[in-house]
Amino acid sequence: MKEGLIQQFEGYGEVARDIEVCRKYGIDYTLEKGSVEKFINRLHPGRMTLRVADIIEETPLDGTLRLVPEDGYLPPFQAGQYITVSLETGNIRTSRPYSIASPPNQTGYYDITVRRVKDGLVSNHLLDRVERDDVLVCSGPAGNFYHNPLIHDRSMVCIAGGSGITPFMSMIQEIVDCGLDREVFLFYGSRTLEEVIFRKRLEAIAGRFPNIHFHPVIENPPEGYGGYKGLITGSLVKDVVGDVPGTTFFICGPQGLYDFCVPELEKLGIPGKKIRTEAYAPAAPISNQPGWPENISPDDRFEIRIKDGKVFSARAGEPLLMTLEKEGIFVPSECRSGQCSRCRVKIISGKVFQPAGTPVRRSDRRYGYVHSCVSYPLEDLEIMI
Amino acid sequence: MQDYDVIVIGAGNGGLSAAATLAQNGMRVLILERHNIPGGSATSFCRGRFEFEVALHQLSGMGTTEQPGPLRSMLGRLGVLEELSFVEMPDLYRAFIPGKLDVTLPADRSGVLETLQKRFPGEKEAIGKFFELVYAYAIELYTFLRNPSAAQGTFPLLQRYAFKSAKDVLDEFFTDPLLKAVPGAYWGFIGLTPDRLSFSYLAILFFTYIEMKPCHIKGGSQALSNAILNAFLAHGGRIRFNCGAGKILVENGAVLGVITEDGDEITSKYVVSNASKITTFVDLIGREHIPEKFFDDMRGLSRSPSGFCVYVGLDREPAEMGIDASTTFILPDEDISGEQFKRMKVLDTENDMVAFSCYDVADPEFSPPGACQAVLVTLKYGEPWMRVPPRQYAREKYRCADAMIRQVEKVYPDFRGHMEEVEVATPLTFMRYLGTPGGSIYGFEQYMKDSLFFEQPRVSPVKGLFMAGGWVANCGFEPTLMSGKSAAGAILRMEG
Ligand SMILES: Cc1cc2nc3c(=O)[nH]c(=O)nc-3n(C[C@H](O)[C@H](O)[C@H](O)COP(=O)(O)OP(=O)(O)OC[C@H]3O[C@@H](n4cnc5c(N)ncnc54)[C@H](O)[C@@H]3O)c2cc1C
Ligand code: FES
């Protein structure tokens, strides 16, 4: 009936002819099998297998792994982004993010520079057990810590601490290799002079390129050291850089660096939007974080019950994600610093601590979803994965 | 081995409403979602202090508590209405052509007439007649769709306008090209320019948005997705995140279950796919299980454009920025003859129409205090982006975003100076997160030949398989949510 009526409508004949013609000469969709995946993998592969082509000792604390693709292709990234290395060590399947230290214009390999963390699970594995020709499984490049030309100034003050130099190494090399119109003032805080990663290379670059300025700032300098000493203070930055408007500040390092430097910059009158910080996992012990309840010790233990699954005990001071991994429960993760929501789980009952400022979606908060990489149990929990 | 009554592939609008309806009716349902959050397009993401709305611009079909629209009724039946707050937007949109035109259409019929008649006094009468037609046509169309068995002759307006394009009708009523450009601008939410867009869709848009008001959801569309998922879980439903479907198992023309991307085999009597129709039948099932005729029918359909979106967090409130309309269509000129259609097929965004949304205008709590967010959208086909060499991708992204921001500066001159966060999504971004071929955001295109008079038969070529979402329904939140409900309805009827 409907068909019949439509046929009476003005212009039906023409439309009917269109339908016939289009079907005849149209698109054979069966040929598109796999095409979406193919295109996406060129930019954002979910998983890459990279071979360790070389291991370069940087300082007594750090080593660089030079990673080449097994299949010959490395996806592009923006200088400052990281990859996440997944591996199994001591029977625990886990992962850690590492910024790519090589520049994006280096298309043959990614360098990751790993600093040894005392009692750290993965850093020690990567530095001590991984050998040349080993294969690592990694995520595609990700992260939001990069120079965005739409909002960031051409003049950048970069403040690094410890292994936080890696994203800046990538940015600086790209700037000089590709002749980008940008100026960098790099302040690199380090406990000792020996622990300054890439020191020789950075000095050489700064010596050759007038738009790159390198200032190590050493906390415990050797006797007679002529460079900057102590911490990276606002007045030091102002003395060196001069006028700060028209400059964007980038900070990357351990939590202590942000806690100290951000207020220092704010004292100079720099607006919050000009200060960009890389994500970081909260410093241990977690009980030092603002908002941690006084009556709970990081060593307190609580019972975790997985919906339809295991029950086990967890330490308050250990991220839920880590506890799950130790229990052999796999939860995908990427940034491990609360930013990407990859490790999101639902807390059905019980309370967890999440550091202030963790970017959890508003409706996720409402329905009890947390980012497990930065969530710490404060009560017995039931969770859904 | 695990077994469910129904496996739902994808937690987009269609998948979620199907799953929740089924679970509510006692079915054992599992949702497989590739991403780590529910919603598909109906999601949000965080940057800095902002939570950006990905997709929802204007929600249709809500109506009021006294006179609920179809969507409000459906959400009520799912039990999620109390969980959500809706914000009515007072305006349809502001239409802006630099140096030529600047009108804001309020979301009521007399207001629309007054505004247009004041700006175009010479065509006062024509404006009145045009909107009379829009209303009468929409009502006739709904009657026809609900009751197609009515007799011939009852549909004089359909008889005359069913196969006319929006441009045909605008040309028939109006002479001033600027006047035609105002209603024509709504194409920005449908994906086809007025010369190709069936008049029916333009009429439906004006009719429903004026009668039921455009709405926004507090907390954004992610709040809706999370609320529906919550209802689903409360009815015993299960979901696996970070878990794509790799294959739909079919034997003797009927579904057996699904194999996940990780290789888990899960059996079920029914499968509802919220993935694109192409993905579902070509990638997940495979042509060998589908009659050739099915793909022949699909041949005539074309994929809709994707979007190029710039999400901007601003360090000022909307009023301080001079933003007083939730939606602004920034048009390069008054053309409705298809120049913009050509522009959808190139990379460059210079001279594109920009759909500019600022949710904080209607909902001051949407962004943190002292700030607001704006989303700049232009519609683009995926192909030019698929040809960009990966290493040039970031550069092209910034270049095209910059051109859109320049367009916006023509309306809001201080815009650039107040940008605090900027994230750019290209057709490849949509391809990545939605998994749709070419990054299509509106399913198949709805040319006249594919318009609502010719809907594809919903009979599935595989027993036990049902589709939900924008590839089998009209695009938009309301239709896709409804499509999930009808998929669920079909399953429940089979179950008796
Ligand atoms: C975006 C991003 C980029 C990064 N880039 C780099 C980079 O380029 N180079 C680099 O070297 N690092 C980088 N990091 C940091 C790097 O990921 C960490 O160094 C790495 O995670 C250390 O892992 P680990 O397994 O060795 O230490 P973990 O095992 O994670 O332990 C870390 C610390 O926690 C303590 N600890 C362990 N278990 C507990 C517990 N149960 N309770 C209390 N304390 C505990 C340990 O004693 C140790 O001090 C980056 C981090 C992020 C977020
Ligand atoms: S892994 Fe990114 S938020 Fe936890």
- Residue B326: which CATH number? 3.90.660
Distance of alpha carbon B439 from alpha carbon B426, whole angstroms: 9
Taking the C-alpha atoms of residue B82 and residue B65, their distance in angstroms, rounded to an integer, is 12
| Interface touch A22/B44, C-beta < 8 Å | no
Q: Which of residues 304-343 of A touch B (CB under 8 A)?
A: 332, 339, 341-343
Which pLDDT tens digit goes with each residue over B23-76?
999 999 999 999 999 999 999 999 999 999 999 999 999 998 999 999 999 999
**A29 touching B, CB under 8 A?**
yes
Q: What is the CA radius of gyration of chain B?
A: 22
B474 with B488, same domain: the answer is yes
CB contact under 8 A, A362 and B51: yes
Answer yes or no: do B141 and B154 share one domain: yes
**What is the rounded CA–CA span in Å between residue A129 and residue B318?**
56
Asked if residue B93 belongs to a domain, the reply is: no
Mean pLDDT to the nearest integer, B318-345: 95
Please tell me which residue of chain A has the smallest CA distance to B365: A362
For B468, the domain range is: 2-86+220-301+443-495
Q: Answer whether A92 contacts ligand 1 (Cβ < 6 A).
A: no
CB contact under 8 A, A361 and B37: yes
- Residues forming a β-bridge with B427: none
Q: Which residue has the tokens 């001079």?
A: B322
Q: Which of A19, A39, A342 sits opposite B386 (nearest CB)?
A: A39
In a domain, B94, yes or no: no
User: What does the alpha-carbon distance between residue A380 and residue A316 come to, in Å, rounded to a whole number?
Assistant: 10
Tell me phi and psi for residue B467, to 5 degrees: -115, 145
Cα-to-centroid distance, A354 and ligand 2 (Å): 12
Q: What is the β-pairing status of strands A155-161 and A183-190?
A: parallel
Ligand 1 touching residue A97 (CB < 6 A): yes
B68 and B184 fall within a common domain? no
CATH class of A286-384: alpha beta
Residue A376 in contact with ligand 1 by CB distance below 6 A? no
- Over residues B449-490, the pLDDT tens digits come to 888 888 766 678 999 999 999 998 888 999 999 999 999 999
CB pairs under 8 A between A and B: 170
The atom of ligand 1 lying closest to the CA of A112 is 8
Q: Which of B219, B386, B390 has the CB atom closest to A362's CB atom?
A: B219
At which of B212, B236, B259 does a domain end?
A: B212
List all residues 6 or more positions away from B370 whose beta carbon is below 8 Å from its beta carbon: B315, B316, B317
- Are both B136 and B162 inside the same structural domain? yes
Question: Averaged over B305-315, what is the pLDDT?
Answer: 97
Name residue B328's amino acid: T
Amino acid identity, residue B227? Answer: A
CA of A337 to the centre of ligand 1 (A): 10
Query: Does the beta carbon of A373 lie inside 6 Å of ligand 2?
Result: yes
Q: Which amino acid is at A310?
A: K
The two tokens of residue B381 are 């086909």
The domain locations on chain A are: 48-138, 155-277, 286-384
Cβ proximity of B255 and B280 under 8 Å: no
- A202: which 2 tokens? 């950075």
- The rounded mean pLDDT for chain B is 95
Q: How far apart are CA A69 and CA A80, in angstroms?
A: 20
Give the per-residue pLDDT at B454: 83
* Ligand 2 touching residue A206 (CB < 6 A): no
Contact B435 A12 (CB under 8 A): no
Asked which of B9-18, B38-47, B441-450 is least confident by mean pLDDT, the reply is B441-450
Contact yes or no for A36 and B437 at CB 8 A: yes
By residue count, chain A amounts to 385
Check: CB of residue A100 under 8 Å from CB of residue A111: yes
Model pLDDT, residue B297: 86
Q: Which residue has the tokens 């001069």?
A: A242
CB neighbour list of residue B474: distance below 8 Å, 6 or more residues apart: B201, B446, B452
Q: How far is A10 from chain B (nearest CA, A)?
A: 6
Domain A155-277 fold is Rossmann fold (3.40.50)
What number is the average pLDDT over the span B270-298?
A: 94
Looking at the complex, report in whole angstroms how far the Cα of residue A341 sits from the nearest Cα belonging to chain B. 7
The four Cα atoms A40, A44, A49, A51 give a dihedral, to 10 degrees, of 120
With contacts defined as CB-CB under 8 Å, which chain B residues touch A341? 36-37, 46
* Nearest-angstrom CA–CA distance, B19 and A4: 36
Report which of A74, A81, A109 is spatially closest to residue A97, judged by C-alpha positions. A81
* Mean pLDDT calculated for residue range A374-383: 98
What pLDDT score was predicted for residue B152?
Answer: 61
Question: Is the confidence at residue B151, as pLDDT, over 90?
Answer: no
Looking at the domain assignment, is residue B279 inside a domain?
yes
Looking at the predicted structure, is the pLDDT value of residue B424 above 90?
Answer: yes
Same domain, B122 and B70: no
Residue for token pair 């016939």: A20
Neighbours of B417 (CB within 10 A): 11
Q: Judge whether B95 lies within some domain.
A: no
Among A27, A34, A341, whose Cβ lies nearest the Cβ of B37? A341
Out of A10, A30, A75, closest to residue B390 by CB: A75
Instruction: Give tens-digit pLDDT for B216-249.
Output: 999 999 999 999 999 999 999 999 999 999 999 9
Length of chain B: 496
**pLDDT 10s digits, A26-41:** 999 999 999 999 999 9
Q: Is the minimum distance from the CB of A284 to ligand 1 under 6 angstroms?
A: yes
A359 to chain B, any CB pair closer than 8 A? The answer is: yes
In this structure, the answer to whether residues B315 and B430 fall within a common structural domain is: yes
ipTM of the complex: 0.96
Q: Which residues contact B103 (CB under 8 A, 6 or more apart)?
A: B94, B95, B115, B116, B119, B182
Q: What angle do CA B486, B141, B166 make, to 5 degrees?
A: 110
Structure tokens at B492: 């429940």
Contact of B80 with B91, CB cutoff 8 Å: no
What percent of chain A shows pLDDT beyond 70?
A: 99
- Is B177 in the same domain as B272? no
Lowest mean pLDDT among A23-32, A98-107, B145-154: B145-154
Pairing type for strands A92-99 and A110-115 reads unpaired
For the stretch A79-100, pLDDT in tens is: 999 999 999 999 999 999 999 9
Q: Which of B193, B212, B231 is the last residue of a domain?
A: B212
pLDDT of res. B455: 72
Contact B452, B444 (CB under 8 A): no
Number of structural domains in chain B? 3
pLDDT bin (cut points 50, 70, 90) of residue B153 is low
SS (H, E, C) chain B: CEEEEEEEECCEHHHHHHHHHHHHCCCCEEEECCCCCCECCCCEEEECCEEEECCCCCECCCECCCCECHHHHHHHHHCCHHHCCEEECCEEEEEEECCCEEEEEECCHHHHHHHHHHHCHHHHHHHHHHHHHHHHHHHHHHHHHHCCCCCCCCCHHHHHHCCCEHHHHHHHHCCCHHHHHHHHHHHHHCCCCCCCCEHHHHHHHHHHHHHHCCEEECCCHHHHHHHHHHHHHHCCCEEECCCCEEEEEEECCEEEEEEECCCCEEEEEEEEECCCHHHHHHHHHCHHHCCHHHHHHHHCCCECCEEEEEEEEECCCHHHHCCCCCEEEECCCCCCCCHHHHHCCCCCCCCCCEEEECHHHCCCCCCCCCCEEEEEEEEECCHHHHCCCHHHHHHHHHHHHHHHHHHHHHHCCCCHHHEEEEEEECHHHHHHHHCCHHHCCCCECCCHHHCHHHCCCCCCCCECEEECCCCCCCCCHHHHHHHHHHHHHHHHHHHC
In this complex, is the C-beta atom of A179 within 8 Å of any C-beta atom belonging to chain B?
A: no
Cα Rg of chain A (Å, integer): 26
CB A107 within 8 A of CB A67: no
CA A33 to centroid of ligand 2, rounded, Å? 32
Does residue B92 lie within any of the structural domains?
Answer: no
- Domain check: are B357 and B466 in the same one? no
B397 and B331 in one domain?
A: yes
Are B310 and B333 in the same domain? yes
Backbone angles phi, psi at B377, to 5 degrees: -125, 135
Instruction: Tell how far the Cα of B272 is from the centroid of ligand 1, in angstroms.
Output: 42
B367: closest chain A residue by CA = A362
User: Could you tell me whether strands B354-357 and B327-330 are parallel, antiparallel, or unpaired per DSSP bridges?
Assistant: antiparallel
Q: How far is CA A126 from CA A52, A85, A136, in A?
A: 11, 10, 10
Taking alpha carbons only, the member of A365, A313, A337 closest to residue A252 is A337
C-alpha B471 chain-centroid distance: 11
Please report, as a single letter, which amino acid is at residue B409. Answer: E
**What are the two backbone dihedrals, phi and then psi, of residue B47, each rounded to the nearest 5 degrees?**
-140, 130
Task: Indicate whether B322 and B249 sit together in one domain.
Answer: no
CA distance B432 to B445: 20
Residue B222 Cα to ligand 1 middle (Å): 32
Q: How crowded is residue B7: how many other Cβ atoms within 10 Å of its Cβ?
A: 27
d(CA B369, CA B63): 29
Which chain B residue is nearest to residue A106, measuring alpha carbons? B391
Domain A48-138 belongs in CATH node 2.40.30.10: yes
pLDDT of A1 over the 60 cut: no
pLDDT over 70 at A296, yes or no: yes
A contact test, residue of B32, B37, B396 with most A CBs within 10 A: B37
User: What secondary structure does DSSP assign to A269-282, as a single string?
Assistant: T--GGGEEE---PP
Q: Give the mutation candidate from B432, B436, B441, B456 for the A interface (greatest A CB count, under 10 A).
A: B432
Packed helices B199-212 and B109-119: angle between N→C axes, nearest 10 degrees: 120
| Element housing A36 (H / E) | helix A35-43
Residue A341 CA: nearest ligand 2 atom is 3
Check whether residue B309 and residue B396 sit in a common domain. yes
Ligand 1 center from residue A120 Cα (angstroms): 6
Q: Which residue, of B391, B410, B434, is where some domain finishes? A: B434
